[in-house]
């Protein structure tokens, strides 16, 4: 099957691209692997997507974005893209069921996933004390004690951010010094609400209805527990890029896709929007914004194609 435009991924970036493509009456197809919504489905409550004064559940926001795109006759299918050949103007996509698709313009919205600890209890308590985004969830932890796992810039900065809400923030790091830049470290060390547990990893997350305690293991082999109401796992995000031709797309060190400000990648006719982009800020609202920008970039590309 051929379409003028194919959008891969149905999170906020992909759904917004789908909305714009459908409204522009482009011959389009959106391919989503699991359920429409992507990572937002994992997010219990989103307080910072503009337009919802009381916040909205990730599930409902995804449902509303999907309904909106479908109102304008979004053409979508479930499918798992396993590889792409983007070396010719006619771009080719292979699905895991053996089907192949082609398009003239492509918008990559495959997203990213937080790097997880991979310990017992982690999955069960996502949205109930386990969070991967301090910007999103910090205000839920007012006057509580939370842990931050990680030692990089994001982890240490976010620990500081969390102290504006939480009473106490314990940074747990597997080494004996932080990886964050000096100035970020200094601020954290000067902050009386932050303490540190060095040379330690989290081996389990426990609780009843929500997180209550962490199991820790230090490098000498000693086990201990720490009582906290929340744990922020800030050890990086991983791009969902397994199906992408990373060399042709000039992927960055972390495997994310560089674009210009109009979402154009290194390959003409291929745009990338949302968390898969090489960028500093990964939020629902800027993913959505990039989805809109990408469709208009695709339209411009197609217009100039002849």
Name the residues annotated as catalytic: 133, 136-137
174 binds a copy of itself per the rule CB under 8 A: no
Query: Token pair 């209550």 is at which residue?
Result: 212
CB 156, CB 191: distance < 8 Å: no
Q: Which stretch binds a copy of itself (CB under 8 A): 27-35, 201-209, 245-253, 274-282?
A: 274-282
The alpha carbon torsion through 70, 76, 77, 81 (nearest 10 deg) reads -140
Quote the strand ranges of 112-233, DSSP E: 112-114, 130-131, 145-149, 168-172, 194-197, 200-207, 211-218, 223-227, 230-233
Stretch that binds a copy of itself, among 1-9, 104-112, 213-221, 277-285 (CB under 8 A): 277-285
Which residue of 21, 61, 205, 270 would you call a contact of a copy of itself, by CB under 8 A? 61
Min dist. Cβ of residue 84 to a copy of itself (A): 24
CA end-to-end span of the chain: 22
Least Å distance between CB 71 and a copy of itself?
Answer: 6
Which residues does residue 102 pair with via DSSP β-bridges, in sequence order?
Answer: 2, 92
Instruction: Determine contact, residues 65/74, Cβ cutoff 8 Å.
Output: no
Query: Between 88 and 190, whose beta carbon lies closer to a copy of itself?
Result: 190
Give the interface segment with a copy of itself, choosing from 20-28, 105-113, 208-216, 218-226 (CB under 8 A): 20-28
Interface with a copy of itself, residue 190, by CB under 8 A? no
Q: Which residue in the set 33, 92, 145, 161 belongs to the binding site for a copy of itself (CB under 8 A)?
A: 161
Q: Are 129 and 214 in contact (CB under 8 A)?
A: no
**What is the rounded distance in angstroms from the CA atom of residue 206 to the CA atom of residue 212?**
6
- Based on CB atoms, which residue is closest to a copy of itself, 95 or 302? 302
Among 4, 27, 41, 52, binds a copy of itself (CB under 8 A): 52
Cα–Cα distances (Å) from 2 to 20, 29, 101, 217, 273, in that order, read 19, 9, 6, 54, 22
Q: Does 286 bind a copy of itself (CB under 8 A)?
A: yes
DSSP 191: -
d(CA 225, CA 223): 7
Nearest to 107 by CA among 247, 281, 289, 274: 274
* Distance in angstroms (rounded) separating the CA atoms of residues 186 and 284: 31
Q: Could you say which of 51, 98, 118, 221 contacts a copy of itself (CB under 8 A)?
A: 51
Is 36 a binding residue for a copy of itself by CB under 8 A? The answer is no
287 binds a copy of itself (CB under 8 A): yes
Contact by Cβ (8 Å): 170, 228: yes
Give the DSSP H or E segment for 64. helix 58-71
Residue 168 is a binding residue for a copy of itself (CB under 8 A): no
Q: Please say which residue, 13 or 202, places its beta carbon nearer to a copy of itself.
A: 13
Identify the residue among 9, 12, 79, 114 touching a copy of itself (CB under 8 A): 12
Name residues contacting a copy of itself, limited to 69-108 (CB under 8 A). Answer: 71-72
Per CB under 8 A, 250 contacts a copy of itself? no
Q: Which is nearer to a copy of itself, 58 or 121 (CB)?
A: 58
Could you tell me which residues are beta bridge partners of residue 7? 30, 107
| Secondary structure of residue 185 in the 3-state scheme | helix
Binding site for a copy of itself (CB under 8 A): 12, 15-16, 19-20, 23-25, 47-54, 56, 61, 64-65, 67-68, 71-72, 135, 138-139, 157, 161, 164-165, 181, 183-184, 187, 259-262, 279-281, 283, 285-293, 296-297, 299-300, 303-304, 306
């Amino acid at each position: 099957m051929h379409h003028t435009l194919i959008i891969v991924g149905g999170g906020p970036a992909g759904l917004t691209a789908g909305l714009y493509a459908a409204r522009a009456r482009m011959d389009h197809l959106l391919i989503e692997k699991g359920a429409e919504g992507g990572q937002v489905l994992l997010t219990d409550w989103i307080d910072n997507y503009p337009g919802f004064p009381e916040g909205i559940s990730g599930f409902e926001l995804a449902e509303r974005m999907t309904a909106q795109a479908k109102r304008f006759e979004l053409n979508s299918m479930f499918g798992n893209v396993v590889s792409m050949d983007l070396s010719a103007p006619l771009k080719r996509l292979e699905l895991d069921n053996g089907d192949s698709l082609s398009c003239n313009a492509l918008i990559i919205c495959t997203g990213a996933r937080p790097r997880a600890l991979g310990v017992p209890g982690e999955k069960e308590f996502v949205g109930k004390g386990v969070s991967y985004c301090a910007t999103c969830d910090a205000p839920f932890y007012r006057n509580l004690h939370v842990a931050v796992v990680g030692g990089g810039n994001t982890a240490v900065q976010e620990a500081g951010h969390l102290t504006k809400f939480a009473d106490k923030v314990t940074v747990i790091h597997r080494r004996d010094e932080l990886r964050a830049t000096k100035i970020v470290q200094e601020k954290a060390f000067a902050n009386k609400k932050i303490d540190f547990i060095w040379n330690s990893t989290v081996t389990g997350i426990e609780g009843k209805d929500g997180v209550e305690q962490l199991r820790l293991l230090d490098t000498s082999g000693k086990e201990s527990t720490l009582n906290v109401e929340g744990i922020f796992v800030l050890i990086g995000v991983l791009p969902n890029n397994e199906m992408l031709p990373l060399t042709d797309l000039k992927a960055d060190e972390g495997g994310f896709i560089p674009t210009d400000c109009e979402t154009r990648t290194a390959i003409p006719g291929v745009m990338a929007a949302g968390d898969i982009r090489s960028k500093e800020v990964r939020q629902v609202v800027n993913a959505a914004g990039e989805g809109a920008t990408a469709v208009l970039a695709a339209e411009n590309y197609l217009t100039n194609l002849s």
